[in-house]
Amino acid sequence: MALSRVCWARAALWGSAVPPGLYVVRRLQFVRSGLTWGAPRSSKLHLSPKADVKSLISYVVTKTKVINGKYHRFLDRHFPRFYVLYTIFMKGLQMLWADAKKARRIKTNMWKHNIKFHQLPYREMEHLRQFRRDVTKCLFLGILSIPPFANYLVFLLMYLFPRQLLIQHFWTPKQQIDFLDIYHALRKQSHPAILCYLEKVVPLISDAGLQWHMTELCTKMQRGTHPAVHDILALRECFANHPLGMDQLRALQMKALSRAMLLTPYLPSVLLRHRLKTHTTVIHQLDKALAKLGVGQLTAQEVKSACYLRGLNSTHIAEERCRTWLGEWLQISCSLKETELSLLLHNVVLLSINYVGSRR
């Protein structure tokens, strides 16, 4: 009797031959009583999906680093010259990406706190100024790459003309020195024309005292003498109005000044004047921010970059001399009003042409 009951229960649980009516009754009883039959649980422990994804990403990153290291060793061993270019190109991309993120962070902060460009600290202002110039150069390459299969031609042009098409992030250390010397030689070609124009306008100056100061300054420049700060500031009135004010400059003088500022001279007079005004205003704003920071707070590279931007070939001049020259520039710049910025524009030539070590 007991054995038959055991067999009956086993048959009911495992689906053996059971009368249909009795199976339905049993099923209803189980459902009504709230009992459910589910799949048997596994005794093994599994990681969470997040942990699985993290471990997979870690594995992929590790393997990628190993493969990348082998690839670099292969290039260095079999193609050493190409490997140098490849390394510089990859580092340049990383620096450009870092610059882009920093510029975005600065712009976001400006937007959130309603800060204007001239209210930024010096380093942030300089970073935005340089990044805009770099992006403009990169956009030119992007436009050249738009036609089908033109990207291959662009890579060839980048290799053949790195000075004209690439930014400094993609130059080798030797190229940085050589290219800066070439650019300075190009802007030095405009110095005689600028000084000659200053001599020609002497009779147009109404004040006799200012005429004498201008003649003395031109004589000193021709003799190779570096002018003092007070010699330049004595002429500030000449550069505020006729004949040397920003709005009174002639087309040939604006083209020469554009070359001295490393700006393209091949534009109509209206655009040349606008670009010169904009560029000089930005430098004046940078000078005010730098005066607040102090020249002593700049690194050696920052000092040399600041001097080169303002007309001095600082690549072959000692750091202390560069700091001295930059201090003289700030003394002049911070003394000028917005209506006298034409003097700051000409100061690119006046203060740098005869400075010790700059005649390369």
pLDDT digits (tens, 9 = 90+) for 223-257: 989 999 999 999 999 999 888 999 999 999 999 99
Query: What b/e readout covers 291-328, taking b as 16+ CB neighbours within 10 angstroms?
Result: eeeebeebeeebbbbbbbbbbbbbbebeeebbbebbeb
Q: What is the CA radius of gyration of the chain?
A: 37
The predicted pLDDT at position 14 comes to 44
271-288 pLDDT, tens digit each = 999 999 999 999 999 999
Which residue did the predictor score with more confidence, 134 or 7? 134
Provide the pLDDT confidence category of residue 99 given band limits of 50, 70 and 90.
very high
Report in angstroms the alpha-carbon separations of 88 from 65, 97, 166, 246, 309: 19, 14, 12, 42, 24
Q: Is the per-residue pLDDT at 148 higher than 70?
A: yes
Task: Tell me the DSSP string of 283-340.
Answer: HHHHHHHHHHH-GGGS-HHHHHHHHHHTT--GGGS-HHHHHHHHHHHHHHHTT--GGG
- Which residues have C-beta within 8 Å of that of residue 306, sequence separation ≥ 6? 126, 290, 298, 326
pLDDT digits (tens, 9 = 90+) for 38-91: 444 444 445 566 677 778 788 788 878 788 777 777 776 777 777 777 888 889
Work out the pLDDT band at 122, boundaries 50, 70, 90. Answer: very high
> If you average pLDDT over residues 334-348, what whole number do you get?
94
Instruction: Answer yes or no: is pLDDT of 9 > 70.
Output: no
pLDDT of residue 154: 83
**Element (DSSP H or E) covering residue 133:** helix 122-144
- What is the predicted pLDDT for the residue at 325? 96
**Residue 357 Cα distances to 114, 316, 353, angstroms:** 43, 7, 10
Q: Is the pLDDT of residue 33 over 50?
A: no
The pLDDT value recorded for residue 132 is: 94
The mean pLDDT of the chain is: 84
201 in Cβ contact with 244 (< 8 Å) = yes
| C-alpha–C-alpha distance, residues 264 and 261, integer Å | 9
- 150 CB-side CA count, 13 A: 8
Task: Write down the pTM of the prediction.
Answer: 0.78
Which pLDDT score, from 0 to 100, does residue 360 have? Answer: 55
Phi, psi angle pair for 89, to nearest 5°: -65, -45
Residue 343: predicted pLDDT: 95
Query: Would you state the structure tokens that stand for residue 93, as one six-digit string?
Result: 């991309």
In this prediction, residue 78 carries a pLDDT of 74
Tokens for 244, please give them.
């040397």
